[in-house]
């Protein structure tokens, strides 16, 4: 199921500034998941959206892994 999220800033200039900042920090290409060794070139808006989605996935996986690890008891070694 797809979902979307809206981010609103009170300062309208933040839209362009954040697009520029993401482009400067990450560039405008990403690996092509369907063609190893190739890259996909994105617009600044596509790049920002892609990087935000990747961050959401990364932080979600990290927290799920942290929770899963906490649920596993430490092994004990008998003498």
- Return d(Cα 40, Cα 33) in angstroms, integer: 9
Confidence of residue 1 (pLDDT cuts 50, 70, 90): confident
Q: Quote the pTM value.
A: 0.82
Backbone dihedral region of 64: left (phi > 0), alpha (psi from -120 to 50 degrees) or beta? Answer: alpha
Apex 44 CA angle, 3 and 19, nearest 5: 85
Residue-wise DSSP of 22-44: HHHHH-SEEE-TTSTT-EEE--H
> What single-letter DSSP state applies at residue 12?
T
pLDDT, tens digit (0-9, with 9 covering 90-100), for 19-72? 999 999 999 999 999 999 999 999 999 999 999 999 999 999 999 999 999 999
Q: What pLDDT score does 73 carry?
A: 87
Q: Where are the domains of the chain?
A: 15-71
Q: What pLDDT score does 9 carry?
A: 87
- Return d(Cα 51, Cα 48) in angstroms, integer: 5
């Amino acid at each position: 199921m797809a979902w979307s999220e809206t981010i609103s800033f009170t300062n309208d200039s933040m839209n362009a500034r954040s697009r520029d900042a993401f482009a400067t920090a990450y560039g405008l290409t990403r690996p092509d998941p369907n063609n190893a060794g190739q890259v996909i070139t994105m617009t600044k808006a596509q790049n920002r959206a892609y990087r935000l989605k990747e961050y959401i996935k990364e932080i979600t996986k990290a927290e799920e892994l942290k929770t899963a690890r906490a649920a596993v008891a430490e092994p004990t070694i008998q003498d």
